[in-house]
Amino acid sequence: MNRITTDINLIVDELRNGHVVSLPTETVYGLAADATNNFAVEKIFKIKNRPFSHPLIMHVSSDWDLTQWVEQVPEYVVDLINSFWPGPLTFVLKLKKNSDISQFATANQNTIAIRCPDHPLAIEVLNRLGRPLVAPSANPFGKVSPTEAQHVIQDFAEDSFSILEGGRCSIGVESTILYCIDEHNCSILRQGSITRSEIQNFCNVIEPNNMSSIRISGNLKSHYQPQKNLFYFYSSDVSLIKSRLINLDNSYVLSFSLSFEKSEIDYLFSSDPKKAATDFYRQLRKADQSDKDIILIELPPETPEWNVLNDRIKKAGASCRYLV
């Protein structure tokens, strides 16, 4: 049986002894293990049912010297680290040969993804352990990410590991991932709350070429999926949805605009993109647990501050146009 705990000593001991635990971060809860312990890292893949071809993000404390693990840290990455760490920004860097990081963590590639989480408990665990931790989101592979300890319990009812209680995640969506192998340019591999325009203040952001050779699971066409079928639509489709679509009574409707009557929807997200992001997975989980048959969700506006939610919704479902 899984258990939620507030005992940091227990969590650090378990990590030291090669166990997997769940830790809170500012983005989502992670399933963590000592990045240098092959057996421990392998367990994460088994628990999540994650293919071994999908590498993990390594979490470090903000003042640790990254050159222990990577060949070089481009100057713009140093500047980005100074501005955004601790925080939801992950860098993919060239892994040093003969590093002590488990090959399961890197999926045997010659790169490693690294970030420093902005959560006091995660930082304390890292500092007390003194070793980096790999931590994918604490959900079964391909499913909705957890933003509360209770979500982790629900998703892994059959497993037996400790979950450190750290409250609700303040950001609520996974970190922005930057591919930083080039000395001057970077590419965004996964959208997150740190936006392209914030990154462009530090370096050129170019389209990733040859993405297919970069194994990034958040980049699969479908991801972040609830159990129920989820269909999304544009605000411009609202009248079509109302007139032609299915019986709204059978649908759990999540909206980002005021184009519906209150009685027609189940939840209206905040018009503030950051607040809506914090709330997003929690509401998706509620929709999934409801007694409705399907989930209908309106896409937020197509402006940069809404990119991350547009990205997650499109990967979590299919267009409503298949239905009408």
Binding site for ligand TXA (CB under 6 A): 25, 27-28, 30, 54-57, 88, 90, 92, 106, 109, 111-113, 117, 135-137, 174-175, 177, 189, 214-218
SS3 103: helix
| Amino acid code (one letter) for 36 | T
């048959």: which residue's tokens? 293
> Which of ligand TXA, Mg ion, none does 230 bind, CB closer than 5 to 8 A by kind?
none
Q: What track of x and - describes contact with Mg ion for positions 130 through 169 (by CB under 5 A)? A: -------x--------------------------------
Pick the closer one to ligand TXA by CB: 175 or 251: 175
Which long-range contacts link 52-55 to residues 24+ away (Cβ below 8 Å)?
Answer: 52/104, 52/107, 53/107, 53/215, 54/107, 54/141, 54/215, 54/216, 54/217, 55/105, 55/106, 55/107, 55/109, 55/111, 55/112, 55/113, 55/215
> Which of Mg ion, ligand TXA, none does 109 bind, CB closer than 5 to 8 A by kind?
ligand TXA
Question: Nearest approach, Cβ of 318 to ligand TXA (angstroms)?
Answer: 21
Question: Nearest approach, Cβ of 62 to ligand TXA (angstroms)?
Answer: 14
Distance CA 259, CA 88 (A): 32
Decide: 90 and 177 in contact? Cβ < 8 Å: yes
| Amino acid code (one letter) for 284 | L
> Which of Mg ion, ligand TXA, none does 57 bind, CB closer than 5 to 8 A by kind?
ligand TXA
Residue whose CB is nearest to ligand TXA in the complex, by number = 136
> Which of Mg ion, ligand TXA, none does 12 bind, CB closer than 5 to 8 A by kind?
none
Would you report the helix, strand and coil content of the chain in percent, each value rounded to 5? 35, 20, 45
- CA-based R_g, the chain, Å: 20
Pick the closer one to Mg ion by CB: 137 or 225: 137
Pick the closer one to ligand TXA by CB: 138 or 295: 138
Question: Nearest approach, Cβ of 108 to Mg ion (angstroms)?
Answer: 20
